[in-house]
Homo-oligomer: A and B are copies of this chain.
Amino acid sequence: MKRTSFTDDACPVARSVEAVGDWWSLLIVRDAFIGKKRFGEFQTSLGVAKNILTVRLKKLVDDGVLEQVPASDGSAFKEYALTEKGRGLLPVIAALGQWGGAGSEFRLVDRKKGKAVRLEFRSADGHRLAPDDVKLVHGAAV
């Protein structure tokens, strides 16, 4: 399907959409966050055709979200790892997970303490805000 490209869009939301390439590719990113590394692991997890997965992985590598690294066990398999840019997608995955609601098979924890973590809106002085108290407005940051 032909569509407008948002690569040069002034809006970072639009650029992010373009950079991830496909909505669905976020599920590969989610799997990478929970520790999946190999083509076969992604394929088993997502149940998609190999040719489609190949294209999506290539796009994520081309866009700098994933990188190919030597297998951690020294075997000939290539592994995929999140880059720093890719790791920056955790809030997007977390926000989607929280929106998807109950029944999650995933959860966010503090890497050091293992305690539950939430994604929240906070004002500059650290006050917690409900989503309905937050407004998206047009105009550069002041």
Chain A interface (Cβ within 8 Å of chain B)?
1, 3-4, 6, 10-17, 19-20, 22-24, 26-27, 30, 33-34, 46-48, 52, 87-113, 115-124, 126, 128-129, 131-142
Q: Quick check: A133 and B112 within 8 Å, CB to CB?
A: yes
Give the chain B neighbours of A98 by CB distance below 8 A.
12, 91
Nearest Cβ on chain B to A87's Cβ, whole angstroms: 6
Known: A99-B12, A107-B141, A122-B117. A30 touches B92 (CB 8 A): no
Q: When the two chains form the complex, which single residue of B13, B97, B138 contacts A100, counting CB atoms closer than 8 Å?
A: B13
State the main secondary structure of chain A at its contact with B: mixed
Q: Quick check: A11 and B88 within 8 Å, CB to CB?
A: no
Give the chain B neighbours of A15 by CB distance below 8 A.
100-101
Q: Quick check: A96 and B137 within 8 Å, CB to CB?
A: no
Q: Quick check: B16 and A99 within 8 Å, CB to CB?
A: yes
Q: Quick check: B17 and A137 within 8 Å, CB to CB?
A: no
CA of A15 to CA of B106, assembled, Å: 13
Q: A34-B138, A117-B123 are in contact. List 4 more A-B contacts (CB 8 A).
A: A4-B46, A105-B139, A106-B138, A107-B141
